[in-house]
Amino acid sequence: MPHISGFWDRPRESVPTKGQRNPYHTGRPRAQGVPRPLPSPRKPGPLPPEVLPFAILGAGAAGLFAGCLAGETGLPALLLERKSRAGCKLLMTGNGRCNLTKEVPVSRMLADFGGTMESFLAPALNAMPPRSIMAWFERHGVPLKTMGDGRVFPASEKATDIAHALVDTLRDTDTPICLNAEVLGLRKEDGFFSIQAQTFALRAKRVLIATGGVGYPKTGSVGDGQQWAKALGHTLVPYRPGLVGFVAEHPWIHRNAGRTLPRTTVRVRIDGHAVYEGDGQLDCLLWGLGGAAAYNASRYIGRECPRTFTFEWEADGQTFRIETPKTRPLKESIATIGGIPLEEVDPETMSSRICEGLYFAGEVLDIDGPTGGYNLSAAFSTAALAVRSARKSIRLV
């Protein structure tokens, strides 16, 4: 692994020579005979432990929930977040309303995930089903409301209420979070994990990577967690957009730009056969089609990767079609397809099969679900299972 420098081996800043302006000088002359002020005395705090029991990398939905459960169950943990604010993407979900889960039976939710995700997520979702997720937030002071289709939101329809409940729980359980702490590298040596940040390094017995996918990188989801896992021996499934709109040219779209169809049916056809059909909201935009109906169809395209297909939708008593439309860029995708392969992770514990002591939760894994609370449910449930497993592994039960 390449050497990662810390503040201790950075080159010294050069001292300004005579005639050069000192960048730290304010320009105000100091009165003659007045000594420089001494720094204010600080009370020395306790030294950190030599090795942390549990480090959580990433403070999005999965990382924050993991930190809360660690604190509530007595597992000493530290969260590291590269951004200056926790839960940046969480605050955007559901157009700022935060659709945190869907109140449906676990069997239905697993079937809607489909594919290998159905069996992989079964232990996590059975241990922390939608009803348990709802109960946790209600216990922590967030009234909830359930829509007719099962989608669950905070009663205020404000994502900030969910974020505040998580951050407040960290405070109440004395679980520290370090913001503006970009992790530069993660390696395993002498049975412990070494974590190198910009200005400090630490060691941990167990590490949970919960850094998300690569959609909306300005929120901090830049794929760094996947790269740390790769350096520790994991492989990566290539990224594709999961829930994203279609770029399309069609006269009906241009005539109806700005219009929203609250509920319509869309289909994906290959060689004339309908291989996907779904209902939901469809948004007509200047560049094409968005909304839940289009997003869920794009998830099918991202998973199956057909070379050619027909996308069709029903509106105004007619059926309209476009051939093999492109999707919007990966960075605009609500969910990322790809990441850590599921076969390299134990679904019963969320622990790595490649590197002992390493855990994963949330979208850093090759997990993506439909719109409507599925992806946050998976984030919360996998985080809960990872914390429970880590706690058992270091004999705190």
Residue 8 included in any domain: no
Mean pLDDT, all residues of the chain? 89
Q: What is the mean pLDDT of residues 305-331?
A: 96
Axis-axis angle for helices 159-172, 61-72 (nearest 10): 30
Q: What is the mean pLDDT of residues 312-317?
A: 96
Q: Is the pTM of this model over 0.75?
A: yes
* Three-state DSSP class for residue 266: strand
Number of residues assigned to the chain: 397
Do 309 and 352 fall into the same domain? Answer: no
Q: What is the mean pLDDT of residues 108-137?
A: 98
Torsion sign across C-alpha atoms 49, 53, 56, 62: negative
Do 159 and 192 fall into the same domain? Answer: yes
32 has pLDDT over 80 = no
Do 163 and 87 fall into the same domain? Answer: yes
Contact, 74 vs 136, CB < 8 A? no
Do 203 and 114 fall into the same domain? Answer: yes
Residue 36 included in any domain: no
What's the pLDDT at 49? 55
Do 287 and 380 fall into the same domain? Answer: no
Containing structural domain, residue 261: 246-328
Do 187 and 259 fall into the same domain? Answer: no
Do 294 and 186 fall into the same domain? Answer: no
Residue 1 included in any domain: no
324 has pLDDT over 90 = yes
Residue 342 included in any domain: yes
Which of 328, 356, 373 is where one domain is finished? 328
Q: Give the range among 48-57, 121-130, 234-243 with minimum mean pLDDT.
A: 48-57
Residue 330: left if φ>0, alpha if ψ -120 to 50, beta else—which one? alpha
Residue 278 included in any domain: yes
Which of 277, 309, 328 is where one domain is finished? 328
Q: What is the mean pLDDT of residues 147-160?
A: 97
Residue 31 included in any domain: no
30 has pLDDT over 90 = no
| Percent of the chain scoring above 70 in pLDDT | 87
Q: Which amino acid is at 87?
A: G
DSSP 179-209: SS--EEEEEEETTEEEEEESS-EEEEEEEEE
Give the position of tokens 């967690």.
225
299 has pLDDT over 90 = yes
Do 252 and 208 fall into the same domain? Answer: no
Q: Count of domains in the chain?
A: 2
Say which CATH number the domain at 125 has.
3.50.50.60
179 has pLDDT over 70 = yes
Do 140 and 260 fall into the same domain? Answer: no
What's the pLDDT at 18? 42
Do 302 and 193 fall into the same domain? Answer: no
Residue 42 included in any domain: no
Distance, in Å, from the CA atom of 134 to the CA atom of 154, rounded to the nearest integer, reads 10
Do 297 and 358 fall into the same domain? Answer: no
Give the position of tokens 């939608």.
130
Distance, in Å, from the CA atom of 212 to the CA atom of 225, rounded to the nearest integer, reads 8
Contact, 295 vs 245, CB < 8 A? yes
Say which CATH number the domain at 295 has.
2.60.40
Residue 24 included in any domain: no
Which of 272, 300, 328 is where one domain is finished? 328
Do 209 and 275 fall into the same domain? Answer: no
